[in-house]
Amino acid sequence: MKKFPFFHFFLSFFFCFLLCACSSAQVKKKQVLSSVENHVLAPQKVSLWKDKLYLLYQYEGESFYFVASARADHKKGSEYSTLEPKKFFELGEHEGAQNVIVVGREWTEVLKEVLLSLLPLNKEEGRVIFIDNFETLLYRGQDGKADLVDLARAPANIKLIGKVDKEEFNRLVYQKIKEMVGHAGVPYSRFLLRLENVPLTPFVYVDTQKGILTPLQLPPYYELEKEMTQLGFSAKFLWSFFVRSHFLGVLKAPFTSATRLGSLTWASVYTAFPPHYAELKEVPALNQSGQEMDLTDFNQWLDKKISKQNYKAEVTLLIDGEEFFPHFILASQRAKHSIFTRVYIFTTDPYSLKIADLLKSRAADGVDVRVLTDELNSILNVTKQPELAYKEDFVMPRSITQYLRKDSSAKARTHLNTWATFDHTKVYLIDRELAYTGGMNIGEEYRYTWHDMMVALRGPVVGRLVKNFYEAWSFNGWGGDYAAAYRKLFSKKQRDVNQEKPNMIDVRLLYTKPTQAQIFHAQLEAIKRAQKRIYIQNAYFSDDRIVGELIQARGRGVDVRVILPGENDVSIMDANNQIMANKLWRNGVRVYFYKGMSHVKAAIYDGWAVVGSANFDKMSLFINQEMSLGISDSSFVKELELRLFEKDFLNSEEMMQERSVGWNSFIVGALTNQL
């Protein structure tokens, strides 16, 4: 028995020794990584062997390697390869190992030469240039001098004459490096180019023969610093949900709160007991007649059963963050009067803060800047780790609304979550003349890693969207129901200032609100009427009635195709998507899984298209606030088919056999029916 104290002392000493050793090793590893990132250390030798890069370093008398794939990691959404440290690893003189030339400051000369070839000839003209994850504007100023700036700081008076995407810019870099190598007579095609001031990315690997240009990224070696502590997060979440949403929220909006509770109860029962849809005994051949639904009759049905909210608009399709965000940033730079943003999620990652800084700078210029976002998601997203590399001195703010208001005249409000309901709408408004709507929130995943879509709108429809924004803004202030009612009845700020033009098309506004399921009923009727094709792309697919009617449509010989995300951000919805995919596939529906996360919400029913913010789940179809557009213009429908669906069919994996689902599939289905 007396041996136990000594034994415990020995164990304690041993574990303390291990802890100190691990801490020492961790500190040393951080020092090494920091030295490599900041080029305090230079690689002694760089070799390529079996598609692996080996960077040899010396540190405090020890030799070690950083190892990276010579191929890009496409799963990260950007073509990066990670540098992994391998201590005491000896490459040796392996047969077939090839040298890689380390290039110093000549990299800046390569960039300079490429950029000069893209510089506009005329003064006050510019091009948007995508250099990896950086959106820049290359322009010639009034004095004729060239300048390259972040797009968020672009001068408002520059006339845009085009853009160069990342792939085209990389191609020009390959070409320029080949030229420089040829002139110098260097018998090499593989280079390691030094980068400066790019977070955690000290080098770019270039192979001019294979056409490879891959940034090499270090693993993060510092902790993310946050203003919000874990205790602060818990307290704020409880305060928001129970006090603000379910006490103050009910007091200021008693009528809306009661309506939401009634709608939530009704929708829960409605979705829990869907009608039975028999599966097809035999899948028929596709219709060959080419006949489609009668759009005139369908639009008359929409006028009668849904809404007559039809407006003229000029519509521009913006697919993925590379098209939408630069468009929005430039429009915000040029705004003269107002920038209104109504968005479900506004994260606090570095890219989102760049957008926030732009909005704050425009507010300082006298522009009326207002941001309306969801409260619970604003709280939840401050706990989220940024997906992309950030600088060591980056500090995640306590909340996006506080960040926007700090030292700024920008206004920010949040939508309270009474009965756990949300405002899922995404609408961005510039000067009451330009609007954006669709599926994109403000966050780095929407800009870089997720597949998504927006549309830009001009014309009389913008006046209606401005009216909607003012009503939502008033409702989410202290006045609640009373302020919103006053705004709706008496305010003149929302009057239409946009003129109809000959090239504009009809756009029908469809909503989900408590007691109004316009988006659901309109699309359900479109499925029932479709004769030729139904193309749907959606991230969360849990509504049994929609699935049942799609099966019935396939039974009529309609070409039904559904695109689901191959990588879903919500695990339970991903499990449900697998269940729904099996049911659709067994009944002849062609199911595709997009290679990555697709957040697109779009559909084509013969000659009628729907794009917007609504998912195919209970919350989006019956409870949340949502807005989608119904468009029957043949040119727009054709563009949506070619630029989105046909392209995504090719970028997806078509389902060829049933997917395995867990034993708990029944439970998953029952749960997701209520989400």
- The DSSP annotation for 316-376 comes to EEEESHHHHHHHHHHHHHH-SSEEEEEES-B--SHHHHHHHHHHHHHHHTT-EEEEEEEHH
Which residue(s) pair with 609 in the sheet?
604, 631
Over the stretch 465-511, which tens digit does the pLDDT of each residue have? 999 999 999 999 999 999 999 888 877 654 556 778 888 999 999 99
The span from the CA of 657 to the CA of 669, in Å, is 20
19 pLDDT band (50/70/90 cuts)?
very low
Q: What angle do CA 7, 9, 14 make, to 5 degrees?
A: 95
Other CB atoms within a 10 A radius of the CB of residue 403 amount to 22
The span from the CA of 30 to the CA of 40, in Å, is 13
13 pLDDT band (50/70/90 cuts)?
very low
In this prediction, residue 73 carries a pLDDT of: 63
In this prediction, residue 654 carries a pLDDT of: 97
Tokens of 346: 């506004």
What letter would DSSP give residue 74? Answer: G
pLDDT at residue 58 greater than cutoff 80: yes
Tokens of 264: 């939530």
Is residue 74 located within the same domain as residue 173? no
Structural domain of residue 565, as residue ranges?
A: 506-672
Which residue(s) pair with 69 in the sheet?
52
- Asked whether residue 630 is domain-assigned, the answer is yes
Q: 457: helix, coil or strand?
A: strand
The span from the CA of 200 to the CA of 38, in Å, is 9
- Asked whether residue 299 is domain-assigned, the answer is no
The span from the CA of 496 to the CA of 145, in Å, is 42
Over the stretch 620-655, which tens digit does the pLDDT of each residue have? 999 999 999 999 999 999 999 999 999 999 999 999
Is residue 49 located within the same domain as residue 152? no
The span from the CA of 535 to the CA of 649, in Å, is 10
81: closest CA among 235, 251, 209, 219?
Answer: 219
- Asked whether residue 1 is domain-assigned, the answer is no
Phi, psi (rounded to 5 degrees) for 41: -100, 140
548: closest CA among 590, 593, 592, 580?
Answer: 580
CB burial string 584-593: b at 16+ within 10 A, e below:
bbebbbbbbb
The span from the CA of 120 to the CA of 129, in Å, is 12
- Domain count of the fold of the chain: 4
Is residue 528 located within the same domain as residue 663? yes
- Asked whether residue 11 is domain-assigned, the answer is no
pLDDT at residue 582 greater than cutoff 90: yes
Longest distance between any two alpha carbons in the chain, whole Å: 97
Which residues make Cβ contacts (< 8 Å) with residue 597, sequence separation at least 6? Answer: 445, 449, 450, 451, 539, 565, 566, 567, 568, 569
The span from the CA of 647 to the CA of 108, in Å, is 36
Is residue 512 located within the same domain as residue 654? yes
- Asked whether residue 514 is domain-assigned, the answer is yes
In this prediction, residue 602 carries a pLDDT of: 98
pLDDT at residue 186 greater than cutoff 70: no
Is residue 125 located within the same domain as residue 210? no
- Domain ends where: 165, 187, 209? 187
In this prediction, residue 496 carries a pLDDT of: 58
Pick left, alpha or beta for residue 295 (phi over 0 → left; psi -120 to 50 → alpha; otherwise beta).
alpha
Length of the chain: 675
Residue with the bigger pLDDT between 104 and 290: it is 290
In this prediction, residue 183 carries a pLDDT of: 67
Tokens of 89: 């690893």
Tokens of 68: 């990276």
131: closest CA among 180, 175, 168?
Answer: 168
Ranges assigned E (strand) in 514-644: 516-517, 533-537, 559-565, 590-594, 602-605, 608-612, 626-631
**What average pLDDT does range 602-606 have in this prediction?**
98
User: Per mean pLDDT, which of 153-162, 211-220, 489-498, 559-568 is the most reliable?
Assistant: 559-568
Q: What one-letter code names the amino acid at 367? A: V
Containing H/E element for 205? strand 203-207
**What average pLDDT does range 450-475 have in this prediction?**
96
Q: 467: helix, coil or strand?
A: helix
pLDDT at residue 5 greater than cutoff 60: no
Q: Which of 70-74, 250-254, 258-262, 353-357 has the lowest mean pLDDT?
A: 70-74
CATH number of the CATH domain containing 433: 3.30.870.10
Is residue 93 located within the same domain as residue 205? yes
Tokens of 496: 């239409």
- Asked whether residue 294 is domain-assigned, the answer is no
Q: What one-letter code names the amino acid at 272? A: A
The span from the CA of 614 to the CA of 457, in Å, is 18
- Asked whether residue 137 is domain-assigned, the answer is yes
In this prediction, residue 85 carries a pLDDT of: 83
In this prediction, residue 630 carries a pLDDT of: 98
Q: Sign of dihedral through CA atoms 593, 594, 596, 601?
A: negative
Residue 320 exposed, middle or buried by CB count within 10 Å (0-12, 13-18, 19+): middle
Is residue 51 located within the same domain as residue 107? no
Q: Which of 103-112, 234-243, 255-264 has the lowest mean pLDDT?
A: 103-112
The span from the CA of 650 to the CA of 318, in Å, is 19
531: closest CA among 606, 581, 463, 584?
Answer: 606
User: Per mean pLDDT, which of 3-17, 74-88, 371-385, 654-668 is the most reliable?
Assistant: 371-385
Phi, psi (rounded to 5 degrees) for 311: -135, 155
Is residue 327 located within the same domain as residue 412? yes
The span from the CA of 394 to the CA of 389, in Å, is 10
Q: What angle do CA 197, 198, 201 make, to 5 degrees?
A: 125
Over the stretch 351-408, which tens digit does the pLDDT of each residue have? 999 999 999 999 999 999 999 999 999 899 888 889 888 888 899 999 999 999 999 9
Is residue 536 located within the same domain as residue 643? yes
Is residue 558 located within the same domain as residue 446? no
Is residue 120 located within the same domain as residue 217? no
The span from the CA of 160 to the CA of 204, in Å, is 29
187: closest CA among 208, 173, 205?
Answer: 208
Asked whether the beta carbons of 412 and 477 are under 8 A apart, the reply is: no
Is residue 438 located within the same domain as residue 548? no
- Asked whether residue 283 is domain-assigned, the answer is no
What letter would DSSP give residue 65? Answer: E
